[in-house]
Amino acid sequence: MSNYYTDVPELKYHLNNPMMERICELKERGYRDKEEFDYAPQDYADAMDSYDKVLEITGEITADVIAANAESVDEEGPHCANGRVEYASGTKQNLDTMVKAGLNGMTMPRRFGGLNFPITPYTMCAEIVAAADAGFGNIWSLQDCIETLYEFGNEDQHSRFIPRICAGETMSMDLTEPDAGSDLQSVMLKATYDEANNCWRLNGVKRFITNGDADLHLVLARSEEGTHDGRGLSMFIYDKRDGGVNVRRIENKLGIHGSPTCELVYKNAKAELCGERKLGLIKYVMALMNGARLGIAAQSVGLSQAAYNEAFAYAKERKQFGKAIIEFPAVYDMLASIKAKLDAGRALLYQTARYVDIYKALDDIARERKLTPEERKEQKMYAKLADSFTPLAKGMNSEYANQNAYDCIQVHGGSGFMMEYACQRIYRDARITSIYEGTTQLQTVAAIRYVTNGAYASTLHDYELIPCSPEMGGLMERVKEMTRKFEACTNAVKAAQNQELQDFVARRLMEMAAVNIMSHLLIQDATRAPELFSKSAHVYVNYAEAEVEKHFNFIRKFQADELADYRK
Ligand SMILES: Cc1cc2nc3c(=O)[nH]c(=O)nc-3n(C[C@H](O)[C@H](O)[C@H](O)COP(=O)(O)OP(=O)(O)OC[C@H]3O[C@@H](n4cnc5c(N)ncnc54)[C@H](O)[C@@H]3O)c2cc1C
């Protein structure tokens, strides 16, 4: 690709969504920065133009530098010596280029050196970078940890730390420990207050930490002695300049080789509290992980785009039985399916990002002044939508990235299994997306409450009221019927009043909700831009309908006493 943004017209389409006007108005607070910063936008059109330009620059750097380095970074990987990480040489060049282009701390206010970007265009940049190198995408996009420091840190912490991230320093989020993975309530890394030096000290081990030798770390640690659950945990900021944390080793992994996954040893490391004690997991890490989950959804969409590009290019070139393999129905079925899941997953990703943007911008305004009753209502509505959509966007896109990478190799035949082709790297890199930042099973745990409390059903009913083009009318009727089946399953599971049964079918219910939501989003997209989305809307609704039918049949026929056949 010559430009990873302009070569994918679907991205510009999503940027130009009508909700962006409200997002810009809130984020730019009536465009007040124009008096102070000459690069701040004058109005909505100017703001949109600046996002477009930055995306174009990101797309160009991605093509010229990041994509060009991807294979060598995958082969070389980072090194660890004397407790410190050294990136692969291509990674260093990638980072340096991004920093020089001013693409760090993108969402931070201008007074700290940021670009004051909404989450939506920033997420697009993350998708673009990941399409070329998902491992580098991790290092670069960990900058979004700064959102959590901005949200919950104090003024003094803002002024000391945010400018450093905007200037190109990197971050990590240190949560996982050997005995605390999905269950972060079990975190035991110890935080004790050092009265003599008026600071906190961290002692213990973290493992699987991406970019673990970063300049600034957000660390989840146990500050309340004698506690064993999430209420005894607080969030800390560790600054590498203070020392006390060493990298014991870098993990040897299946994929994302450029991204150093570190085991960290904390020895009396000086740290400062971020926010209030005891709210570390309950409030701050939940917010941190929601942001990171959107990031992994973007990484997954980038990988799906890469899988589509590779599969499509190969299928056009490769000839068997006297014709290009793209002409065989079995092959174009795979290609259409990759594209439909890519378009559906991307629609869900950016719808989620827009919901996040509105509630976060209103949250930020609430720190300056009291919100009006209408604004409070708006904030609550979008916060709930964002919370319910985030596990779907992460869960579904990460599974789609894996399925699409698998099909990409299949389209390549035996060549797909060879290291010379990029599809093997995409396949290896995709595998982690459904594991980190909460496995798909944990996304289901987060999503199931919105199944049972009717939130997804209510959103689906709202979407049914959005007018669609006559061409999409037939699909809309089919999706309405799919929603009836989703509701019938939900009601049957609720009526059984059996928690184990509910947990057992939770993923099926979550997927039913998700494919129905994505079907609606594609119908809306195909109504606005049929030339881009009409095909995918048809292909995806065919697929989604079959998925719903499959789950409907399973849940309808399943008897609770059959659980015994599955239990070990
Ligand atoms: C390459 C890589 C990078 C990472 N980067 C970071 C990072 O930067 N920072 C960080 O803090 N962590 C990071 N992690 C850790 C990652 O988030 C965890 O590995 C992940 O959350 C899963 O935890 P676990 O590995 O302990 O698996 P486990 O929690 O042991 O899970 C094993 C299996 O049990 C299932 N399971 C567990 N609990 C439940 C439940 N309640 N319901 C249903 N199923 C359940 C899981 O879905 C999974 O299938 C990274 C991991 C890797 C591999």
Task: Tell me the per-residue pLDDT of 458-477, one tens digit each, with 9 for 90 and over.
Answer: 999 999 999 999 999 999 99
Over range 101-109, report the average pLDDT.
Answer: 96
Position 312 confidence tier, pLDDT thresholds 50, 70, 90 = very high
Q: Which of 253, 398, 435 to mutate to test the pocket of ligand 1 (most atoms within 8 A of CB)?
A: 435
Q: Is the CB of 434 under 6 A from ligand 1?
A: no
432 lines ligand 1 (CB under 6 A): yes
Can you name the CATH fold of 171-277?
Butyryl-CoA Dehydrogenase, subunit A; domain 2 (2.40.110)
Q: Please tell me the predicted confidence (pLDDT) of residue 151.
A: 96
Ligand 1 centre distance from Cα of residue 208 (Å): 9
Instruction: Given CATH 2.30.40.10, say whether it is the number of domain 440-562.
Output: no
CA gyration radius for the chain?
23
| Cβ 181 under 6 angstroms from ligand 1 | yes
Q: Which of 430, 437, 355 lies closest to 144, judged by CA?
A: 437
Burial-class residue 480 by CB neighbours within 10 Å (0-12, 13-18, 19+). Answer: middle
Can you give the pLDDT at residue 133?
Answer: 98
> What end-to-end distance do the CA atoms of the chain give, in Å?
50
- Is the pLDDT assigned to residue 568 strictly greater than 90? no
CB 85 within 8 A of CB 78: yes
**Residue of the CA atom closest to atom 4 of ligand 1:** 208
CA of 366 to the centre of ligand 1 (A): 34
481-495 pLDDT, tens digit per residue, is 999 999 999 999 999
Q: Is 61 in the pocket of ligand 1 (CB under 6 A)?
A: no
Ligand 1 neighbour 548 (Cβ under 6 A): no
User: What's this model's pTM, rounded to 2 decimal places?
Assistant: 0.98
Domain map (residue ranges) of the chain: 171-277, 440-562
The residues, ordered by sequence, that sit 6+ positions from 312 with a Cβ below 8 Å of its Cβ are 326, 335
Ligand 1 atom showing the smallest separation from residue 206 Cα = 11
The pLDDT, as a whole number, for residue 147 is 95
How far apart are the C-alpha atoms of 297 and 430, rounded to whole Å? 11
Tell me the C-alpha distance between 116 and 110, whole Å.
6
Burial class (CB in 10 A: 0-12, 13-18, 19+), 54: buried
Q: What is the DSSP string of 189-233?
A: -EEEEETTTTEEEEEEEEEEEETTT-SEEEEEEE-STT--SGGGE
- Tell me if 359 CB under 6 Å of ligand 1: no
Nearest-atom index, ligand 1, CA of 172:
8
Q: How confident is the model at residue 455 (pLDDT cuts 50, 70, 90)?
A: very high
pLDDT of residue 49: 97
Ligand 1 in contact with 424 (CB < 6 A)? no
Q: Which atom of ligand 1 is nearest to the CA of 173?
A: 9
Q: Residue with the nearest Cα to atom 16 of ligand 1?
A: 436
Characterize the bridge pairing of strands 171-174 and 216-222: parallel
Segment 30-56 mean pLDDT:
95
What's residue 113's pLDDT? 96
> Of 442, 363, 331, 319, whose CA–CA distance to 119 is shortest?
363
With 90 as the cut, is the pLDDT of residue 79 above it?
yes
- pLDDT average, residue stretch 416-429: 97
What span, in angstroms and rounded, lies between the C-alpha atoms of 499 and 506?
Answer: 10
CA 127/CA 429 separation, integer angstroms: 14
Element (H, E) at 456: helix 455-464
Supply the residue whose CA is at minimum distance from atom 1 of ligand 1. 261
- Helix H segments across 66-166? 67-76, 89-100, 119-132, 134-141, 145-152, 155-166
Is there an atom of ligand 1 within 6 Å of 445 CB? yes
CB of 544 closer than 8 Å to CB of 515: yes
Q: Residue range 79-92: average pLDDT?
A: 98
Ligand 1, atom 37: nearest CA belongs to which residue? 182
- pLDDT mean across residues, the chain: 97
- The pLDDT of residue 182 is 97
222 pLDDT more than 90: yes
Check if the beta carbon of residue 216 is closer than 8 Å to that of residue 165. yes
Average pLDDT over every residue of 325-334? 98
Find the angle CA(124)-CA(129)-CA(131) to the nearest 5 degrees. 95
User: What value, to the nearest 5°, has the Cα angle with vertex 377 and ends 375 and 383?
Assistant: 100
Distance between Cα 194 and ligand 1 center (Å) = 32
Predicted local confidence at residue 284, as pLDDT: 96
For the CA of 210, the nearest atom of ligand 1 = 8
Residue 454 Cβ inside 6 Å of ligand 1? The answer reads no
Q: What's the whole-number mean pLDDT along residues 152-170?
A: 97
> Does residue 145 have a pLDDT over 90?
yes
The whole-number pLDDT of residue 541 equals 98
What contacts 24+ positions apart, CB below 8 Å, involve 226-232?
228/185, 228/186, 229/185, 230/184, 230/185, 230/280, 230/281, 230/282, 231/278, 231/282, 232/278
Q: Can you name the residues that pair with 250 across neighbouring β-strands?
A: 262
Residue 194 forms beta bridges with which residues? 199
What letters, b where the CB count within 10 A reaches 16 and e where it falls short, cover 72-94?
Answer: ebbebbbebeeeebebbebbebb
Paired tokens of 303: 């990988």
Query: Could you report the per-residue pLDDT of 237-282, keeping only the tens digit for each?
Result: 999 999 999 999 999 999 999 999 999 999 999 999 999 999 999 9
Contact present, 266 and 83 (Cβ < 8 Å): no
- The closest-lying atom of ligand 1 relative to the alpha carbon of residue 142 is 8
Euclidean distance between CA atoms 560 and 486, whole angstroms: 19
Distance CA 89, CA 514 (A): 40
pLDDT, residue 152, reads: 97
Report whether residue 132 contacts ligand 1, using a CB cutoff of 6 Å. Answer: no
pLDDT band at 67 (very low <50, low <70, confident <90, very high): very high
CB of 435 shorter than 6 A to ligand 1: yes
* 175 C-beta closer than 6 A to ligand 1: yes
Alpha carbons 462 and 464: distance in angstroms, whole number: 5
d(CA 176, CA 209): 7
CB atoms near residue 159 (< 10 Å): 12
CA distance 318 to 272: 58
